[in-house]
Amino acid sequence: MIKYIFFFILLFISIIFSFSNPTLTKDFLISSKWGPEEGSYGLYLTFNQNNSYQYHSSGEGGINNLSGKYILLENSVILEPNSGDLDDIFKPLTFKQPFVLRVDTNSFYHSQYLRGNRWSFYNLNSAPINCDKTVEGITLSFVPQRKCVINTNSYLRNGPGRQYNYYVFTFHDPATPLKDTPFLPIKYELVIIGKTKEIEQIGDLKGFWYYVDIPLSWYDHVILNEDRSMSYGPGLKAWIFSPLVDE
């Protein structure tokens, strides 16, 4: 009996170890797509069979044919740039540096990522880990991404509750432009990625607060109603009360 218990303990430890320390191999680097956590726009990294790599970007500017060679060293890959240039924000990537393979349990999008001195590149082929997530100190339940539609003009807030500030939107869609609107219109589509642990009652409505992705175009503009010192665009996450959407 003790022998079997010891065996299962060793098995459990080996599973945890392999899960938290994924193996970094050449085939793994080449076959995986490496980019920003959300995978929608930003800087991407491609590895080739001949031990070369290239950066490329989705969006405006930021890169000019930066490439180099890579060397595998245990659970890290050393990138040695040899040509091209980057805008100032990406300058650290023009110097030789190691990237270590890690697991991100708190991401809503992908679990595996290469961590460098300042930049990370997520394995866009990896799936998020199904566990509770933390957003600015708030613990919420992970929800596999699913779309929903706003069923009435609705505020979106920077926290799960009416005490939080709401966003003000300016949309630059030529067909239906909206300027400085404090709510998103009915039938606007959102993507749910998490929800609060507790149900809340607001008036006659009862439900969770959903943590959502807001599909925004490159030129849409968003600010907080009572704090206009910062502006937001694609990639913005916000909170909406669940009775205000249809799934």
From residue 156, give the alpha-carbon distance in Å to each of 1, 116, 201.
Answer: 57, 34, 17
* pLDDT classification of 19: cutoffs 50, 70, 90: very low
* Interval 198-229: pLDDT, tens: 999 999 999 999 999 999 888 888 999 988 77
11 has a pLDDT exceeding 50: no
How far, in Å, CA of 12 to CA of 4, rounded? 12
Residue 4's pLDDT band (boundaries 50, 70, 90)?
very low
Closest CA to 101 of 113, 110, 91, 89: 113
Tens of pLDDT, residue by residue over 89-125, are: 777 888 899 999 999 999 999 999 999 988 899 999 9
> How large is the average pLDDT for residues 58-77?
81
- Considering the entire predicted model, what is its pTM? 0.82
Residue 39 confidence class, pLDDT cut points 50, 70, 90: confident
pLDDT for the residue numbered 58: 76
Which letter does DSSP use for residue 233 in this model? -
> Cβ distance 224 to 238 under 8 Å?
no
Report residue 244: phi and psi, to 5°. Answer: -90, 5
Rounded Cα distance, 208 and 194, in Å: 10
Of the ranges 35-44, 64-73, 148-157, which is most confident?
Answer: 148-157
Q: Give the mean pLDDT of 73-84.
A: 89
Please say if the pLDDT value at position 7 is more than 60.
no
Domain ranges of the chain: 2-123, 133-246
| Mean pLDDT score, 137-160 | 96
pLDDT at 60: 63
H/E run at residue 16 = helix 2-20
CB 98 within 8 A of CB 77: yes
What pLDDT is attached to residue 9? 37
178 beta partners: 171
Tokens for 125, please give them.
Answer: 């082929």
Please identify which residue in the block is written with the tokens 């009435």.
152
Site of tokens 């959407």: 245
Cβ density class 202-241: b for 16+ within 10 Å, e for less = eeeeebbbbbbbbebeeebbbbbeeeeeeebebebbbbbb
State the average pLDDT over residues 190-203: 96
Q: Would you say residue 1 has pLDDT above 60? A: no
Residues 60 and 32 sit within 8 Å (Cβ to Cβ): no
Q: In the predicted model, what is the mean pLDDT of residues 44-62?
A: 85
pLDDT at 12 over 60: no
Q: What is the mean pLDDT of the chain?
A: 86
* Pairs from 171-175 (Cβ < 8 Å, separation ≥ 24): 171/217, 171/220, 172/217, 172/219, 172/220, 172/221, 173/217
Q: Say what percent of the chain tops pLDDT 70.
A: 85
